[in-house]
Structure 1
Amino acid sequence: MAASQTTPWNLISGILGVICLFLMATIGILLKDLYPKQSIQPTLSPDAITELQKGPNCCSCPERWIGYHCNCYFFSGELKTWKESRDFCVSQNSSLLQIENGDKLHFMSSIKYFYWIGLSYHKECDAWLWEDGSSVSQDLLPLVQKLSPEKCVIYNARQSVFDISCDNKYHFICKQKFI
């Protein structure tokens, strides 16, 4: 008979259990909204993005791309291999970043990651070339000749380049040129 009898403590523990489940569900929903799935988003600071968008508006860039000097730049939030990064850029009618002038990219001084760029070694030419086939300026990237031809190149804001296995995953920068 004692098993079927409801005491105030049983009722209170049942109510507290329901409240606990409700609170856990609420926290789960809030955390889901707070930490959405990783998507491709710019990794620049808000100040740098504002600076870029204040420049001359001579081109219209796709969503999540940043306009600067009549070009559009995409700073990935995702990590990909060099080939995956190149393929993504091609799918967006762009190419991995080709660095032509160090002064042009002063806005990169606020970034903290290393990024894949569009520089690779071509055995038939025995040289490091950009994706469009042009050669690398020794003034801009003087250490490029010391890199391993079997690897790919990452770049950071301090104009540092390193050779890394092409299968490693890094952020990347795509660039669309506008004429």
Structure 2
Amino acid sequence: MDNQRVIYSEMNLAKNSKSQQRKSKGTKSSISEIEQGITYAELNLHNAAQDLQGDDKSYHCKATETKKPSNTSQAAGTQKAYHCGQCPEGWFTYSTNCYSIGKEFKTWNKSLMACASKNSSLLYIDNEEEMIFLGSLLHQSWIGVFRNSSDHPWMSINGSTFELQIAETASGKHKCAILHSDRLQSDGCDSSKIYHCKHKL
């Protein structure tokens, strides 16, 4: 019975989204409202799926809410990270990834090796949404981004060119990067910082 209600709810949202698009074509606010509606529906469907699995005692989720900063084009809201039994104990889930919150201070290279020993990677940021979310939860920490020199592009530890903006510090010669609140900035690889690990579900 719950499954039918979820399916009906999803189809109902799709119809409402189309009518909203027809009412106000091309405006940024209508797109933002539609995206927020879809995100809200996805969260509700995700929660409903968790409720259906709730009879399984090995499956346990605990939500942590964080305030989402408001700006002129988007209303303030909250985001949830689910601490689920699908990740190792002490890790939390956001989107399709598991994250471990570190407590140790290490250099960038030692942090990279410490995460590898946990069968994971040093925290890497896939997009701006993830950066803002993690920045609201985590203290200043290393991320899996580096460069060979200030003349070279920033590279992700997976080998791809890193696309997000990294603020340069005064010297501009640092080869590693950190997540600092809601932004990324360069830092010296030999300094000791907290590190966090990440792996895909």
TM-score interval, normalised by the smaller of the two chains: 0.5 to 0.7
Q: Per-residue CA shift, 1:59-109, capped at 9, x if unaligned?
A: 811111111111001121111111111001111111112212111343324
Q: Does 1:148 align with 2:173?
A: yes
Using a 3 Å threshold, how does the CA distance of structure 1 residues 142 and 110 change in structure 2: closer, same or farther? Answer: closer
Of structures 1 and 2, the one with the larger relative CO (CA 8 A, separation 6+) is: 1
Distance change (3 Å), C-alpha of 1:101 and 1:148: same
1:171 aligns with 2:194: yes
- Seen in structure 2, the aligned counterparts of structure 1 residues 61 and 147 have a Cα distance that, compared at 3 Å, is farther
Number of residue pairs matched?
124
Contact 2:132 2:182 in 1 (8 A): no
Percent identity of paired positions between Structure 1 and Structure 2 = 33
Q: Distance in 1 between matches of 2:142 and 2:166?
A: 18
Aligned-partner Cα distance in 2 for 1:122–1:129: 9
Q: Which is richer in strand?
A: 2
Question: Which structure has the larger Rg?
Answer: 1
Alignment of 1:41-56 (within 5 A): 47-48=65-66, 51-53=80-82
1:83 aligns with 2:106: no
For 1:100 and 1:147, the matched residues in 2 are separated by 24
| Structure 2 stretches lacking a partner, 5+ long | 1-63, 67-78
For 1:51, the aligned partner's letter is K
- The offset of 1:47, in angstroms, is 4.8
2:39 corresponds to: none
2:181 to 126, 135, 157: 157
- AA aligned opposite 1:175: K
Q: Give the alignment's TM-score, normalised by structure 2.
A: 0.53
1:98 is aligned to: 124
Distance in 2, Cα, partners of 1:102 & 1:53: 19
Greater CA deviation, 102-111 or 112-121?
102-111
The aligned runs of 1:52-63 (5 Å cut-off) are 52-53=81-82, 60-63=86-89
Which of 136, 141, 144 is residue 162 of structure 2 equivalent to?
Answer: 136
Query: Partner of 1:73: helix, strand, or coil?
Result: strand
Contact in 2 for aligned 1:64/1:74 (Cα 8 Å) = yes
Q: Is the 8 A contact 2:176 2:187 kept in 1?
A: yes
Judging changes above 3 Å, is the alpha-carbon distance between structure 1 residues 119 and 142 closer, same or farther for their aligned structure 2 residues?
Answer: closer
Asked whether the equivalents of residues 145 and 154 of structure 2 are also in contact (C-alpha less than 8 Å), the reply is: yes
CA distance in structure 2 between the aligned counterparts of 1:65 and 1:161, rounded to whole angstroms: 25
Q: Which residue of 1 aligns with 2:95?
A: 69
Q: Describe the SS at the equivalent of 1:153.
A: strand
TM-score normalised by structure 1 residue count = 0.59
